[in-house]
Amino acid sequence: MSEPTPKIVFNPEGNSTGDACVPNISPAERKKRMDFGILQLVITFGILAAMLYFGADKLWRLPLFAMFSSGAVSIFQALDKT
């Protein structure tokens, strides 16, 4: 038989357990971050499609990494509730 998964202890004295992840943003803020992340990714992929269609140089596509990263980070924050 397998042992139960141990709880993560947050108390410095070590005599109580808690949840592994406590949300620190409200549902409204999570929705705002999710909406921003999705919009950012849609815009980024739209610009990328236009650049590929018009044959833009690879160096012109490099700044899209920052836009893609900000959209992805927003979505990850919304999903992780942080």
Give mean pLDDT in consecutive 10-residue pieces for the chain, a chain of 82 residues: 62 55 81 96 97 94 95 93 76
DSSP string, the chain: -PPPPPPBP-STTS---B-S----S-HHHHHHHHHHHHHHHHHHHHHHHHHHHHT--HHHHTTHHHHHHHHHHHHHHHHHT-
What is residue 25's predicted lDDT score, i.e. its pLDDT? 83
Q: 0.85 cut: is pTM over it?
A: no
What is residue 22's predicted lDDT score, i.e. its pLDDT? 66
What is residue 81's predicted lDDT score, i.e. its pLDDT? 77
